[in-house]
Amino acid sequence: MEIQKAERLSKLPPYLYVAIRQKVREAQARGVDVISLGVGDPDLPTPRHVVEALAKAAADPANHQYPTGEQKGMPAFRRAVAAWYARRFGVTVDPETEVLALIGSKEGNHHLALALLDPADVAIVPDPGYPAYIASAVFAGAEVVRAPLRRENGFLLDFADVPADVARRAKLIWLSYPNNPTTAVAPLEFLERAVAWARQNDVVIAYDHPYSEITFDGIRSHSILEVDGAKDVAVEFNSLSKPYNMTGWRIGMALGARPLIAGIDQVKENTDSGQWSAVQYAAIAALEGPQDVIARDLAIYRRRRDLVVATWRSLGLDLEPPQGTFYVWAPIPEGTKSMDFVSRLLDLTGVMVTPGIGYGSRGEGFVRMSLSVPDDRLNEAMARIAKVRDQLATTAVGSR
């Protein structure tokens, strides 16, 4: 018997990070000391008080059963999320009807697509953009339309680039700032335009905001829920992964329009049993406890960012310092394909970066480098790159 996989799987592009890991393994098999700057996973530790809260909760037999509050999340966790949003963004949300616990924000984005999209509905995704958005839309059977993020616009979506017929047919649009991969941060005025456009066209906004706390140089990231009327059209996804170095813990949250929160909740009722209560108790400790970990980590990321920017500029490539996230979105020599550049860089230096084409056709001409790498390895990576600067072309996309 030959097993045939579902047709929807054939519509998915190869998952970018799987391909990156395969290239790394192949190089390592050849004896190369690979330094991977490909995947964004904080190398910094989870705060001690959060780990201790988990240990205490894990030792309590009451937390050995299905999670309290089931898939919706513990009331105490949802209240902590609402209070954190009130302090951080000045946003008021009802923890009972407008907040939902998630097993990571990626899960929430996926479940929103399943809750909202029917076959033949249109979903708009940014290009370049996080690849998982496309996968979520495809699994829901939707038609995917890519909207360009242009460097000349600061990688902020120009809603005039969405054709009128697409806007009329669209049911969902993904926006994410601070942006992965471009590192752009959206001002409040942009979010106001986004909400106005969505209300005018009856389109739901999925605002993916997991890098909300990773910004530099006095730039502040805004919640879309700060905009009047946003709770009529938007759901915001956030996560404890980046600000508290809890990627492996898989704890996030959705906030916003009540019908959308209820829809995600309904999908989760039929999909999972919610996040383990002990992890939720640890998340409460993170949200309510000392916040100095964020400033400490930002100082580290800023120092790393400046090192990478200086190294890249020494190659004759035009690169502005990233505004947010722990990535650097860097132009490559003009006329060079990003996959070719990645392979050449790996061969010359043993340094692995992510090809921009993996984020969409508009990502061509760029690579993404992660700053979530220990200092000694990042220093070594930049030193290796500096040594081969003469072997890399110096005319960059968008060079001065």
Q: Which is it for the CA torsion 89, 91, 95, 98, positive or negative?
A: negative
- State residue 39's pLDDT score: 84
Question: What value does the mean pLDDT take over residues 203-227?
Answer: 98
The pTM score is: 0.95
Contact of 180 with 325, CB cutoff 8 Å:
yes
Residue ranges per domain, the chain? 7-45+292-391, 48-288
CA distance 253 to 268: 13
pLDDT band at 373 (very low <50, low <70, confident <90, very high): very high
| SS3 label, residue 147 | strand
- State residue 9's pLDDT score: 87
Q: How far is CA 237 from the centre of its chain?
A: 10
Q: Side-chain half-sphere of 315: how many Cα atoms within 13 Å?
A: 29
Beta bridge partners of 312: none
Mean per-residue pLDDT of the chain: 94
pLDDT tens figures, 299-343: 999 999 999 999 999 998 989 999 999 999 999 998 899 999 998
- State residue 281's pLDDT score: 98
CA distance 128 to 176: 11
Q: Which of 291, 324, 292 is nearest to 305 (CA)?
A: 324
Which H/E stretch holds residue 196?
helix 188-201
Structure tokens belonging to residue 142 = 């939707």
Question: What value does the mean pLDDT take over residues 88-107?
Answer: 97
Tokens 């963004």 belong to 89
- State residue 396's pLDDT score: 44
Higher pLDDT, 11 or 322: 322
pLDDT tens figures, 20-29: 778 788 889 9
Does 395 score more than 50 pLDDT?
Answer: no
Superfamily for the 7-45+292-391 domain: Aspartate Aminotransferase, domain 1 (3.90.1150.10)
pLDDT band at 399 (very low <50, low <70, confident <90, very high): very low
CA distance 240 to 289: 13
Parallel, antiparallel or unpaired: strands 170-176 and 122-127:
parallel
| SS3 label, residue 124 | strand
pLDDT band at 398 (very low <50, low <70, confident <90, very high): very low
CATH ID of 48-288, from 3.40.50.970, 3.40.640.10, 3.40.228.10, 3.20.20.70: 3.40.640.10
pLDDT tens figures, 263-303: 999 999 999 999 999 999 999 999 999 999 999 999 999 99
Contact of 321 with 35, CB cutoff 8 Å:
no
In Å, what is the CA distance from 214 to each residue of 27, 282, 293, 354, 367?
32, 21, 12, 20, 20
pLDDT band at 391 (very low <50, low <70, confident <90, very high): confident
Does 164 score more than 80 pLDDT?
Answer: yes
Across 78-219, where does the E strand assignment appear? 99-102, 122-127, 143-148, 170-176, 204-208
pLDDT band at 393 (very low <50, low <70, confident <90, very high): low
Contact of 385 with 313, CB cutoff 8 Å:
no
Does 71 score more than 70 pLDDT?
Answer: yes
Does 400 score more than 70 pLDDT?
Answer: no
Question: What value does the mean pLDDT take over residues 202-227?
Answer: 98
Residue-wise over 164-199: b if at least 16 C-beta within 10 A, else e?
eebbebbbbbbbbbbbbbbbbbbeeebbbbbbebbe
Question: What value does the mean pLDDT take over residues 210-232?
Answer: 98
Does 90 score more than 50 pLDDT?
Answer: yes
Does 211 score more than 90 pLDDT?
Answer: yes
Higher pLDDT, 157 or 14: 157
Q: Which of 301, 320, 303, 308 is nearest to 383 (CA)?
A: 308
CA distance 76 to 282: 11
What's the chain's length in residues?
Answer: 400
- State residue 159's pLDDT score: 98
Beta bridge partners of 324: 215
pLDDT band at 69 (very low <50, low <70, confident <90, very high): low
How is 28-80 classified by DSSP, letter by letter?
HHTT---EE--S----SPPPHHHHHHHHHHHTSGGGSSSPTTGGG--HHHHHH
- State residue 130's pLDDT score: 95
Structure tokens belonging to residue 188 = 């409040």
Instruction: Name which of 3-7, 62-66, 210-214 the model is least confident about.
Output: 3-7
Question: What value does the mean pLDDT take over residues 225-251?
Answer: 97
